[in-house]
């Protein structure tokens, strides 16, 4: 054995420590029976310095050299002092250089693609001893079962995963580091697999689902804002008298506030906060400076049904009696009498342009989201005479839900058959014994079975944030539908009967 062999042996041992994530190692004074002690010491310390300089043993913290003969101690000590004063030039290990080449700036970047790195952890090693192989195997299996019992995995499949922001990705990486979970993204990029301790997997999964729900809400807001911009445009007057359109989001929020009869709404104009007085302005900042605003109805002439009667400009809603014998009257009467034999006294058409346009915007959004056009149904809703004017002016409200509201969810109920809504429980008789029922346009969209005390439709699957549009009593043969968004139903006709 010569000093070169000794140096290679030490280097190999140190590299093994790196591969196995060892934190300490002990060497005997190698080959001192055939080689001078000083040469052995220099060779061993040279190997140590060389490996450490390459930064390839990041986990190694302690190296011991065990000397059995006191006479050798001085030689090893002197050699160590010499190396201690050596200026070690750090250099990248070849493998590390190759890794950096493929992980840093030289690698083509794909912004939509991201990778979550697993946290490096020290392995836990079990040494099992027993008086027989069978007992050792039994103990080994028991340990494995115990570990697996505490482990879990979760899969999230959602199109919104690709839209996770840099901040979202950093938060997921932080959770990986603090909780020790593993998060892997599939090549399809719309699936994440989370693995680790059960409670940590559950927590990380819930946090990611919240991120995806936020992204989905932002997408819904963006889509609704874009649809609203095709119907209405809010503008503010600039210096010089020219009008400038609000951005899509502010345009949508102004329209929402206007439709819900809010008196004021705050907006940002050129980086400054303004309070807009609705519906006609002005917009005023904190210093009292005012800007005129206006609302342009893009669909004032072409979005309303052609069979509607002309309304005065200052009327927000109006009811029109439908003459018996007309095709419109016969159609509504036929739908009612298909299942209900009560005598119809009159049929009125409810005209509310704002509610109608809201329904059309929501329908366009639903048609696009569900990739089909079968999202609207004509359904019945029995009502109390005391709230007819409120429904005509403001549409349906979940607080007016029927007595069955806790059975399939706390929403607004609509019946497939008029006979169901004609019951006194839903169509409450007035002082003259007359009852009232609406024939409605209802956006049921994609639906599923409802449940007691439900306040919103459930998600379409456990791994997505996309919700159903409505719920029903029986998805295969529904007799009723329940919606949780008030703009998904329009009171088209009011039927008075006995």
**Tens digits of residue pLDDT in 428-447:** 999 999 999 999 999 999 99
Of 348, 310, 376, nearest in space to 436 by CA: 348
Predicted local confidence at residue 302, as pLDDT: 54
Class of domain 232-297: alpha beta
- What are the φ/ψ torsions at residue 468 (nearest 5 degrees)? -65, 160
CB burial of residue 434 (10 Å; 0-12, 13-18, 19+): middle
At 23, list the tokens.
């934190």
Percentage of the chain lying above the pLDDT 90 cut? 34
Per-domain boundaries in the chain: 3-84, 133-225, 232-297, 318-497
Of 373, 392, 387, 378, nearest in space to 481 by CA: 378
Predicted local confidence at residue 150, as pLDDT: 80
CATH fold for domain 3-84: 3.40.220
Contact 452, 410 (CB under 8 A): no
Predicted local confidence at residue 445, as pLDDT: 96
Q: Is the pLDDT of residue 110 over 90?
A: no
**Tens digits of residue pLDDT in 111-125:** 344 445 555 556 677
For residue 488, the 8-state DSSP code is G
Q: Is the pLDDT of residue 30 over 80?
A: no
What's the mean pLDDT when you consider all of the chain?
83
Facing residues of 472 across strands? 449, 481
Q: Is the pLDDT of residue 423 over 90?
A: yes
Most confident stretch, 53-62, 233-242, 480-489: 480-489
pTM above the 0.75 mark? no
CATH fold for domain 133-225: Ribosomal Protein S8; Chain: A, domain 1 (3.30.1370)
Q: Measured between alpha carbons, how far is 322 from 308 in angstroms, rounded to an integer?
A: 11
- What are the φ/ψ torsions at residue 493 (nearest 5 degrees)? -135, 140
Q: Is the pLDDT of residue 99 over 70?
A: no
**Tens digits of residue pLDDT in 335-358:** 999 999 999 999 999 999 989 988
Contact 257, 354 (CB under 8 A): no
CATH fold for domain 318-497: Phosphoenolpyruvate Carboxykinase; domain 3 (3.90.228)
Mean pLDDT confidence for 96-103: 36
**Tens digits of residue pLDDT in 234-284:** 999 887 677 888 999 999 999 989 888 899 999 999 888 999 999 888 999
Most confident stretch, 180-194, 279-293, 322-336: 322-336
Q: Measured between alpha carbons, how far is 379 from 417 in angstroms, rounded to an integer?
A: 7
Of 250, 354, 249, 337, nearest in space to 293 by CA: 250
Contacts of 279 (CB under 8 A, 6+ apart): 258, 295
Contacts of 136 (CB under 8 A, 6+ apart): 128, 129, 130
């Amino acid at each position: 054995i010569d000093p070169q062999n000794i140096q290679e042996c030490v280097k190999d041992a140190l590299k093994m420590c790196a591969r196995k994530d060892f934190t300490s190692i002990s060497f005997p004074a190698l080959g001192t029976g055939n080689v001078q002690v000083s040469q052995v010491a220099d060779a061993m310390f040279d190997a140590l310095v060389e490996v450490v300089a390459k930064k390839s043993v990041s986990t190694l913290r302690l190296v011991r050299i065990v000397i059995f003969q006191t006479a050798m101690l001085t030689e090893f000590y002197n050699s160590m002092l010499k190396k201690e004063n050596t200026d070690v030039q750090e250099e990248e290990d070849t493998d590390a250089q190759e890794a950096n080449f493929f992980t840093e700036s030289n690698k083509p970047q794909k912004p939509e693609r991201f990778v979550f790195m697993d946290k490096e952890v020290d392995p836990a090693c079990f040494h099992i001893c027993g008086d027989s192989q069978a007992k050792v195997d039994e103990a080994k299996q028991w340990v494995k079962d115990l570990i697996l019992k505490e482990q879990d995995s979760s899969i999230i499949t959602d199109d919104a995963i690709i839209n996770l922001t840099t901040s979202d990705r950093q938060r997921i990486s932080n959770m990986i580091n603090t909780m020790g979970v593993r998060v892997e993204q599939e090549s399809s990029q719309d699936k994440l697999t989370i693995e680790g301790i059960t409670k940590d997997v559950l927590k990380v999964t819930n946090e990611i689902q919240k991120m995806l729900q936020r992204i989905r809400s932002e997408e819904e807001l963006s889509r609704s804002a874009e649809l609203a911009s095709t119907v209405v445009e809010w503008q503010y007057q600039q210096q010089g008298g020219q009008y400038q359109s609000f951005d899509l989001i502010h345009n949508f929020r102004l329209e929402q506030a206007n439709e819900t009869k809010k008196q004021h709404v705050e907006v940002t104009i050129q980086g400054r906060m303004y309070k807009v007085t609705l519906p006609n302005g002005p917009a005023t900042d904190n210093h009292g400076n005012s800007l005129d605003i206006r609302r342009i109805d893009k669909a004032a002439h072409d979005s309303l049904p052609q069979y509607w009667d002309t309304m005065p400009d200052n009327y927000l809603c109006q009811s029109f009696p439908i003459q018996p014998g007309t095709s419109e009257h016969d159609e509504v009467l036929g739908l009612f009498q298909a299942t209900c034999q009560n005598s119809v006294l009159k049929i009125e058409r409810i005209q509310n342009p704002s509610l109608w346009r809201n329904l059309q915007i929501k329908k366009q959004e639903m048609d696009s989201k569900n990739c089909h056009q079968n999202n609207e149904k004509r359904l019945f809703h029995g009502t109390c005479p005391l709230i007819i004017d409120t429904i005509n002016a403001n549409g349906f409200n979940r607080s007016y839900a029927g007595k069955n509201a806790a059975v399939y969810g706390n929403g607004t109920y609509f019946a497939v058959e008029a006979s169901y809504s004609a019951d006194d429980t839903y169509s409450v008789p007035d002082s003259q014994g007359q009852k009232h029922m609406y024939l409605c346009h209802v956006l049921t969209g994609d639906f599923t079975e409802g449940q007691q005390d439900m306040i919103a439709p459930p998600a379409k699957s456990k791994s997505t944030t996309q919700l159903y549009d409505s719920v029903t009593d029986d998805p295969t043969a529904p007799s009723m539908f329940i919606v949780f968004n008030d703009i998904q139903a329009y009171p088209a006709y009011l039927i008075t009967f006995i």
